[in-house]
Amino acid sequence: MDQPIVVKVGTGVLTRAQDATLDGAALLRLVNAIAQTVGDFGKCVLVSSGAVGAGVTAFGLNEYPKDLATKQAVSAVGQTRLMHAYENLFGHFRMNVAQLLRTADDFRDPERRDNTKATLSRLLNEPAVVPIVNQNDTVAFRDYCVGDNDMLAVRVAELIGAKMLVIFSSIDGLYAPGDIGGEIIREVDDIDEVMNFAEKKTGKMSQGGMQAKLKAVRRAVNGGIETCIANGREPERLQDIVAGDGYCTRFRAQKQPA
């Protein structure tokens, strides 16, 4: 595979619902799936949520912090925990990780955008390295925010000319309205036809939701990037998804990438 893939994983996948601590078993399965996919298909950039979720216990919180200062402080603690976990787990597969924390200016300012692209390209050319990207929550606010990490993943995919974006969520994919728990929609050719299929709902440790995901998906497919929403609790599906199959909702690209 010449083009890299981008995998985005949400907080709900990486942390335990009852106490928001990092879920070691879920992390191990995710890392194993990425390691196997990188070995078989090429290069992967991981856009990982979970920093705030990983840090809340240090502050005695049981939900996502509401004020900016607490959110940024919690993220500062949680980011170290998250990267330490990734470093240890990928190390079992003799792989290295690279951390890239970014704000909106890193994609908006031409020079900073070029620098970010050059750094990612260099990392992707290095054997056995997985770049892990997250928004720099310790400094990002208002105009400095890229958006949620679904949108950040799209911006990264655009930047590196990704073949595919896989968004790992806590559900199997997109459901028709009123059919949650039934059969997911397996393939979407026109993203505009399903934009009203999701309400704006979030978990207590997350910011996004299916509505935010669909907005990110629309930008991705309109830019020529095939995008899939899949269950991050079943990350072993990743190889099949990248190969063109796998249990997920697959959104077909609307045009050839630029």
Q: Considering the chain, what percentage of its residues have pLDDT values greater than 90?
A: 58
Structure token pair of residue 44: 């992967």
Q: Find out whether 8 is annotated in a ligand binding site.
A: yes
Q: Find out whether 137 is annotated in a ligand binding site.
A: yes
pLDDT at 205: 45
pLDDT at 19: 72
Q: Find out whether 48 is annotated in a ligand binding site.
A: no
Structure token pair of residue 158: 């655009």
Work out the average pLDDT over 9-30: 87
pLDDT at 71: 84
C-alpha of 160 from chain center? 15
Work out the average pLDDT over 24-30: 94
With 70 as the cut, is the pLDDT of residue 258 above it?
A: no
**Class for domain 5-251, per CATH?**
alpha beta
pLDDT at 140: 56
The rounded distance, in Å, linking the Cα atoms of 130 and 65 is: 29
At 118-176, the pLDDT tens digits run: 999 999 999 889 999 998 866 655 443 445 889 999 999 999 999 999 999 999 999 98
Q: How far is CA 87 from CA 55, 99, 193, 200, 239, in A?
A: 17, 10, 41, 34, 22
Provide the total of helices (H) and of strands (E) in the chain, helices listed first. 9, 8
At 68-94, the pLDDT tens digits run: 888 889 889 989 999 999 999 999 999
pLDDT at 197: 87
The rounded distance, in Å, linking the Cα atoms of 149 and 133 is: 9
pLDDT at 31: 97
Lowest mean pLDDT among 20-24, 85-89, 209-213: 20-24
Structure token pair of residue 76: 């500062």
Q: Find out whether 49 is annotated in a ligand binding site.
A: yes
Look at residue 9 and give its three-state secondary structure.
Answer: strand
Higher pLDDT, 49 or 234: 234
Q: Identify the DSSP state of 125.
A: T
Owner of token pair 């787990």:
89
Q: Identify the DSSP state of 185.
A: P
- pLDDT band at 207, cuts 50/70/90? low
